[in-house]
């Protein structure tokens, strides 16, 4: 006989499992303040958010240009109001810093973040940060040169091997004039008379 309590028990067990799993997930996402502090130190040491300082001023500048194009008579007011509102929103920069810190804290342990900050704060780490763009450009050049050379050498090696297995094609006669081509008529049409 089929019991009506069986589906209810199954639903209750599934609901309890979901609640426990949800609580575990929420607990796993909680990050200790010391962990966030380590993340902020790592972010500062690698200048991870320095370029983000330009986001709000650039947005303000683009908005000024757009609004002035629409209504040039209000230029002075537009500049004043956009500048005021941009400054009013500047404190929100901290929200971005917090989100970046959370992303780093989720990706790295507190110890790893402390090690990242320690390295990048050291003279060697500072040199690494300062010289990385130069090294990156040099590496890109080296890769490009290597890529061209390897492609050329591969093409030549393959052509050599193919030449050894493919029958020799006779060279076209140099003194023979190409035959005059007459346009072919499409089916159902008569070719024009010369």
Interval 104-149: pLDDT, tens: 999 999 999 999 999 999 999 999 999 999 999 999 999 999 999 9
Encoding tokens for residue 169?
């094609």
With cut-offs at 50, 70 and 90, classify the pLDDT of residue 7.
Answer: very low
Is a pLDDT exceeding 70 seen at residue 18? no
Tell me which residue has tokens 């130190």: 41
d(CA 26, CA 13): 20
d(CA 126, CA 124): 5
Contacts of 49 (CB under 8 A, 6+ apart): 43, 96, 97, 100
d(CA 146, CA 113): 36
pTM of the model: 0.57
Q: Give residue 194's pLDDT.
A: 46
d(CA 84, CA 90): 10
Contact 90, 56 (CB under 8 A): yes
Q: What does the pLDDT average to over 10-37?
A: 60
Q: Give residue 26's pLDDT.
A: 44
Domain ranges of the chain: 29-121, 123-163
d(CA 114, CA 41): 7
């Amino acid at each position: 006989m089929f019991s009506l309590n069986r589906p209810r028990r199954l639903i209750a067990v599934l609901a309890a499992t979901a609640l426990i799993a949800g609580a575990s997930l929420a607990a796993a996402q909680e990050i200790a303040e010391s962990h966030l502090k380590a993340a902020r130190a790592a972010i500062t040491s690698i200048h991870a958010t320095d370029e983000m300082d330009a986001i709000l001023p650039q947005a303000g500048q683009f908005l000024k240009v757009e609004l002035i194009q629409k209504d040039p008579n209000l230029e002075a007011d537009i500049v004043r109001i956009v500048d005021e509102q941009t400054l009013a929103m500047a404190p929100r920069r901290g929200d971005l810093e917090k989100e970046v810190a959370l992303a780093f804290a989720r990706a790295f342990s507190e110890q790893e973040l402390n090690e990242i900050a320690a390295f990048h704060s050291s003279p060697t780490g500072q040199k690494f940060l300062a010289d990385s763009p130069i090294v990156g450009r040099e590496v890109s050049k080296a890769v490009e040169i290597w890529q061209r050379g390897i492609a050329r050498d591969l093409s030549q090696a393959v052509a050599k091997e193919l030449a050894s297995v493919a029958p020799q094609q006779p060279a076209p006669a140099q003194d023979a004039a190409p035959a005059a081509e007459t346009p072919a008529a499409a089916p159902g049409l008569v070719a024009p008379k010369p």
